[in-house]
Amino acid sequence: MDSLDAGPRTAAARAPGAAEKALLLLESLTQLSAAGVPPTLTSLVTASGLAKSTTHRVLSLLIRRGLVTYADGTYRPGPALADLAAGALGLPVGRLRATLLPHMVDLYELTHETVNLAVLQGSDVVLVERVHGSRTQRASFRLPERVPAHSTALGRALLDATDPFATAPSGAGARGDHTGILLSEVRRQGVSTSLGELIPGVACLALPVLDEARNPVMALSVSGWVQSMDLLAVAKHLRSVSLAACLALLTEER
């Protein structure tokens, strides 16, 4: 009898528990997002190896807890997940988001492009807030919520930050075309840039938000189609709003 019961008990021991199922789905979601694959129910079932009904049930729980969001058939990391990640780093993300959100709105009004706010977690950047309008919402690109820091303007703004408002580093060489020349000029203003590294044709300009000790705590960026962005104007607005955000953070800390 014991030998007959051993098989079911062994299978039960191998089956993931509720907590492990949630972790599997969160890991699968972030990995798919980082790879640029839309985290749909089908792709999450495939990536996690869980049954479809189980995947849907656990995702519903994660949505209720704010760890995952759902829109247009796609699941994405939720604000509570970013808060947990930043909390492990000692960053009060909720307070910082509330302080910086008005400045993000100002930056959107100036540029009418997608404005992003991100934190550094290990070797990745994690998006914690985004502001866009109806026109940018309809744009056919969607930036992932978590990506390797070195591959993004946001990540480089956090990794390489010193004090972009005091000094302007020399820019990388131009690509030999008009866009390359403009990006080189933007870099000379101390702004981190990327072009097509995540999505072909999409440019991103970013600057860090510094605390009182001049350490980067978050980064602001503006993203949009390069053919329609006024790169120099966006860089100018980004610098002014980022400086205002730093001053707001400094005032709050005091």
Rounded to whole angstroms, the Cα distance separating 228 from 243 reads 25
Rounded to whole angstroms, the Cα distance separating 148 from 161 reads 17
Check: CB of residue 220 under 8 Å from CB of residue 116. yes
CB count within 10 Å of CB 60 equals 12
Indicate the length of the chain as a whole number.
254
Give me the phi and psi of 219, to 5 degrees please: -140, 140
Q: What is the DSSP letter of 151?
A: G
Structure confidence at residue 128 (pLDDT): 81
Give me the phi and psi of 156, to 5 degrees please: -70, -35
Q: What is the mean pLDDT of each run of 10 residues along the chain (254 residues)?
A: 47 65 86 78 92 93 86 79 58 73 93 90 81 63 73 87 46 56 86 87 91 83 91 94 87 64
Distances (CA, A) of 86 to 89, 124, 141, 178, 188: 5, 12, 26, 39, 31
CB contact burial 81-102 (16+ within 10 A = b; e otherwise) = bbbebbeeeebebeebbebbee
Rg (CA), the chain: 21
For 29-52, what is the HEC assignment? HHHHHHCCCCCCHHHHHHHHCCCH
